Amino acid sequence: MYKIAKENLPALFQLIAGERELYVPVNNNGQVNFAAWTEGAVVDLDTLKSVKSPKDAFFPQSENLYTCYKDGKKITIQPEELQNQNFVVFGMKACDVKGVEVLDKVFLSEPVDSFYAARRAHGTIVALACHEPEESCFCKVFGIDCAEPVADVAAWMVEGELYWKALTEKGEALTKAAASLLTETDEAKVEAEKAAIRAIVEKLPYSDLSLEGWNGDALTEKFNSPVWEDLYKPCQACGTCTFVCPTCQCYDIKDYDTGHGVQRYRCWDSCMYSDFTMMAHGNNRTSQLQRFRQRFMHKLVYFPANNDGMYSCVGCGRCVEKCPSSLNIVKVIKAFEKQGGDQ
Amino acid sequence: MQELISRAKELLADGTVARVLGWRAGDLPYNPEPAYFTTAEELENFVYNGFCGANLSKYMIEASKLEGKTMVCLKPCDTYSFNQLIKEHRVDREKAYIVGVGCKGKLDIEKAKKLGIKGIESVSGAEMTNAADTLTFQTIYGEKSCSYAEAMLERCHVCKGKEHMVYDELIGESKDTKDAERFAEVEKIEAMSPAEKFAFFQKELSKCIRCNACRNVCPACSCRKCVFDSTKFDSAQKANVDSFEEKMFHVIRAFHVAGRCTDCGECSRVCPQGIPLHLFNRKYIKDINELYGEYQAGADTESRGPLTNFTFDDCEPSIVTQR
């Protein structure tokens, strides 16, 4: 275990950024999102959650796959280069790290997504324990311990000092690179911090949310439930929940006419959008009820059915905070719980 | 709130309306959601407080297609949107039983959170019956408070007034919450140099994640299918192809609603990235006022819109170069 004073963090960031790219939570006009560190960046480690999850670091909202250039009758196809430089994401939370684990299931299973795999291979995650969890958090429900994030490096902010513990080889390498600024210390203060965080988690209103009945075998029962008919109504079909989510992984592939060729890119898709999974024959989900249902069935039924029971929700609570109509996965789970009770 | 619930029950019982469109209590103290109620039992979960910011006018487009009348709760500012939708033949006035609800300003929980109030367990002061100017939060981290005005939505600081523009009956008192000039922020930007303006909008709009919440919540954006959702359009609605598009999406949207935007402020309320989108609309409103005469969209259902009308006093196209 090492530590570094909070006021020395800019020096640490400078050191890391000197040899590889560094992503940190940055405050831009009042909103905190992960962005590349620059000298003038306003780094914000106090705000609990970035608006967007940090999944962009591995699965960007938009990325080129290849570009076609046309010169007379000659067409050249230039594939996009894969990530080949090491980078660090500093300040992810335990839920966000678990979100990456969910993405791994999708993108690292056969056929492996080479763009994602290259980023994962070159990325080192420094995860920060949640000093003061908030009422919209429910990571505990998914077995996540926000007091002890599992990443390449786990970190804790206690009384103006950042405690640092490498957990993997990548983490050891980063520790070595940052050694000149880190001092060795014992774990006493971190142990106290962990206990304090866990005590707060117990008090959070969503910590006792029950996922009973949500599993890969519940498909027919949940899919056909009349509960959806009332639930989806406030939904205005925007993509906020899907775009702030650390685990939403659906993407679309599009061509952009550059005027002298074509740029093929992929971008996040949202099951809330009317052209989601549109095919030549049309769309297989024609109503908002179906699209709304898709999101929650995917997270709580389809994903566990295909991934040994693993849910594709990590309880970060961003959808809870950001939905314009105050709908969210917690309300969905509770609505089904209530219906079960009524029967 | 009890008066609203009783009246809703009566209207349902005597068959005046088939359903009630209002807000259902959330599972946190500040997250009620828009909801339909069809029975007295369901109305037990009806809520109306400072957190009911959502403008229900747009939901009336769909509700107008349903069998029977819908009782809809509209705040004074929401009624402007409803009127505008009548004018555009998007809602059916005959299908709506409008209860104009009182308003003392609506709250933005994010503003409270920016003041460091977190781990919220309960809130007092947000109820309609509470005349207090203070919001008191019980949180996991102790009791916190802020003034009601500090946590108010931007739009309430420039409130258009306590009067409902259209209603069948009124329930509840409204409060004057205006404490800022509507066009002050616009004037500030107008005074900037072109480079400063560019930097301002660049910084704000670079936060956009193209979630389309601003568009989907907007009562003026009532096209059945948005051009940006077309698969044949060489621009994706879900990602910014380049930084030009990032800026243009919002400018185009503001142009599309110019002359029809009532300045209800929903775009800025819902933006997950806190982009002050209303500033675009307000700039166009200000320009329209100056170039075509004072106009408030949604103040009535009969007048011709400034951009869909012609008078000899209209500005000439050369205004573009003159400015």
Give the tens place of pLDDT for each residue, A155-187: 999 999 999 999 999 999 999 999 999 999 999
The reply to whether A199 and A229 lie within a common domain is no
The rounded percent of chain B whose pLDDT value lies above 90 is 81
Q: Catalogue the E-assigned strands of chain B.
A: 19-24, 33-37, 70-74, 96-101, 120-124, 134-139, 142-147, 169-171
Instruction: Please indicate whether, in this complex, the C-beta atoms of B119 and A322 are within 8 angstroms of each other.
Output: no
Residue B242: pLDDT band with limits 50, 70, 90: low
Which residues have a Cβ under 8 Å from the Cβ of B149 and sit 6 or more positions away? B105, B133, B157, B177, B179
Instruction: Please indicate whether, in this complex, the C-beta atoms of A256 and B211 are within 8 angstroms of each other.
Output: no
Instruction: Please indicate whether, in this complex, the C-beta atoms of A326 and B121 are within 8 angstroms of each other.
Output: no
The CA distance from B241 to A254, in Å, is 10
The reported pLDDT for the residue numbered A340 is: 61
Contact indicator for B83, B298 with CB cutoff of 8 Å: yes
The reported pLDDT for the residue numbered B316 is: 86
Flag whether A307 is in a domain. yes
Positive or negative, the CA dihedral B151, B152, B154, B158 is negative
Which residues have a Cβ under 8 Å from the Cβ of A302 and sit 6 or more positions away? A216, A219
A44: pLDDT strictly greater than 50 = yes
Flag whether A209 is in a domain. no
Please name the residue of chain A whose CA is at the shortest distance from the CA of residue B213: A238
Q: Residues B184-202: pLDDT tens digits?
A: 999 999 999 999 999 998 8
CA A141 vs CA A60, A91, A145, A314, B301: distances in Å: 27, 22, 10, 8, 51
Q: Residues B38-69: pLDDT tens digits?
A: 999 999 999 999 999 999 999 999 999 999 99
Q: How many domains does chain A have?
A: 2
The reply to whether A107 and A170 lie within a common domain is yes
Flag whether A213 is in a domain. no
| CA-based nearest distance B296→chain A, Å | 26
- Angle among Cα B114, A37, A126 to the nearest 5 degrees reads 85
Flag whether A67 is in a domain. yes
A residues 305..334 contacting B (CB < 8 A):
320-322, 324-327, 330-331, 334
Flag whether A211 is in a domain. no
Q: Which value, to the nearest 10 degrees, does the dihedral of the CA atoms of residues A179, A183, A186, A192 take? A: -100
In the numeric block, which tokens belong to residue A13?
A: 């960031």
Residues of A in contact with B204 (CB under 8 A): 29
Higher pLDDT, B131 or B117: B117
Domain end marker among A203, A235, A256:
A203
Residue B318: pLDDT band with limits 50, 70, 90: confident
Please give the mean pLDDT across all residues of chain A.
95
CA B30 vs CA A72, B5, B77, B124, B268: distances in Å: 61, 19, 21, 10, 18
Residues of A in contact with B115 (CB under 8 A): none
Start-end of H helices in B160-313 = 184-190, 194-205, 213-217, 243-257, 266-270, 278-292
Q: CB contacts < 8 Å between A and B, how many? A: 135
Residue from B24, B30, B33 to probe the interface with A (highest A Cβ count within 10 Å)? B33
Side chain identity at A36, as an amino acid letter? A
The reply to whether A166 and A224 lie within a common domain is no
Please name the residue of chain B whose CA is at the shortest distance from the CA of residue A254: B236
Q: Which residue range is the domain that position A317 belongs to?
A: 219-342
Mean pLDDT of A242-271: 92
The reported pLDDT for the residue numbered A259 is: 85
The reply to whether A185 and A241 lie within a common domain is no
Contact indicator for B148, B133 with CB cutoff of 8 Å: yes
The reply to whether A123 and A247 lie within a common domain is no
Higher pLDDT, B83 or B1: B83
Please name the residue of chain B whose CA is at the shortest distance from the CA of residue A32: B273
Flag whether A79 is in a domain. yes
Residue A343: pLDDT band with limits 50, 70, 90: very low
The rounded percent of chain A whose pLDDT value lies above 70 is 99
Residues of B in contact with A62 (CB under 8 A): 239-241
The residues that bridge with A282 in the sheet, in sequence order, are: A279
Q: In angstroms, how far is CA B14 from the centroid of its own chain?
A: 32
The CA distance from A190 to B185, in Å, is 46
Q: Of the candidates B212, B216, B239, which has its C-beta nearest A268's C-beta? A: B239
The reported pLDDT for the residue numbered B241 is: 58
The reported pLDDT for the residue numbered B5 is: 97
The reply to whether A313 and A285 lie within a common domain is yes
Side chain identity at B77, as an amino acid letter? C
Domain end marker among A150, A171, A203:
A203
Instruction: Please indicate whether, in this complex, the C-beta atoms of A274 and B36 are within 8 angstroms of each other.
Output: no
Q: Residues A263-284: pLDDT tens digits?
A: 899 999 999 998 898 888 888 8
Contact indicator for A95, A146 with CB cutoff of 8 Å: yes
Flag whether A236 is in a domain. yes
The residue among A100, A246, A88, A93 whose CA lies nearest residue A155 is A93
The reported pLDDT for the residue numbered B202 is: 87
Domain end marker among A156, A178, A203:
A203
The reply to whether A125 and A250 lie within a common domain is no
The CA distance from B89 to B82, in Å, is 10
Flag whether A214 is in a domain. no
DSSP readout, B162-182? S--SS-SEEES-------S-T
A residues 3..42 contacting B (CB < 8 A):
28-31, 33
Higher pLDDT, A8 or A256: A8
The reply to whether A133 and A61 lie within a common domain is yes
The reply to whether A24 and A103 lie within a common domain is yes
The reported pLDDT for the residue numbered B129 is: 80
The reported pLDDT for the residue numbered B243 is: 66
The CA distance from A332 to A327, in Å, is 8
The CA distance from A238 to A230, in Å, is 18
The reply to whether A144 and A69 lie within a common domain is yes
Residue B87 phi/psi, 5-degree rounding, is -60, -35
A43: pLDDT strictly greater than 70 = yes
- The model carries a pTM of 0.94
Instruction: Please indicate whether, in this complex, the C-beta atoms of B120 and A135 are within 8 angstroms of each other.
Output: yes
Instruction: Please indicate whether, in this complex, the C-beta atoms of B270 and A234 are within 8 angstroms of each other.
Output: no
Q: Residues A60-119: pLDDT tens digits?
A: 999 999 999 988 899 999 999 999 999 999 999 999 999 999 999 999 999 999 999 999
Residues of B in contact with A274 (CB under 8 A): 225, 229
Other C-beta atoms closer than 10 Å to the C-beta of B189 total 15
The reply to whether A179 and A294 lie within a common domain is no
The reported pLDDT for the residue numbered B246 is: 67
The reported pLDDT for the residue numbered A341 is: 46
Residue B84: pLDDT band with limits 50, 70, 90: very high
Cβ of A52 under 8 Å from any chain B Cβ?
A: yes
Q: Are strands B142-147 and B134-139 parallel, antiparallel or unpaired?
A: antiparallel
Residues of B in contact with A136 (CB under 8 A): 28
The reported pLDDT for the residue numbered A257 is: 84
The reply to whether A66 and A172 lie within a common domain is yes
Please give the mean pLDDT across all residues of chain B.
93
The reported pLDDT for the residue numbered B321 is: 81
Which residues have a Cβ under 8 Å from the Cβ of A183 and sit 6 or more positions away? A2, A3, A4
A residues 206..235 contacting B (CB < 8 A):
230, 233-234
Q: Residues A288-319: pLDDT tens digits?
A: 999 999 999 999 999 999 999 999 999 999 99
Higher pLDDT, A283 or B233: A283
The reported pLDDT for the residue numbered A338 is: 81
DSSP readout, A140-206? GGGT--TTS--SSEEEEEETTEEEEEE-SHHHHHHHHHTGGG-EE--SHHHHHHHHHHHHHHHHSTT
Mean pLDDT of B212-235: 87
The reported pLDDT for the residue numbered B132 is: 76
Cβ of A47 under 8 Å from any chain B Cβ?
A: no
The reported pLDDT for the residue numbered B229 is: 85
B residues 4..63 contacting A (CB < 8 A):
26-28, 31-36, 54, 58
A residues 117..156 contacting B (CB < 8 A):
132-136
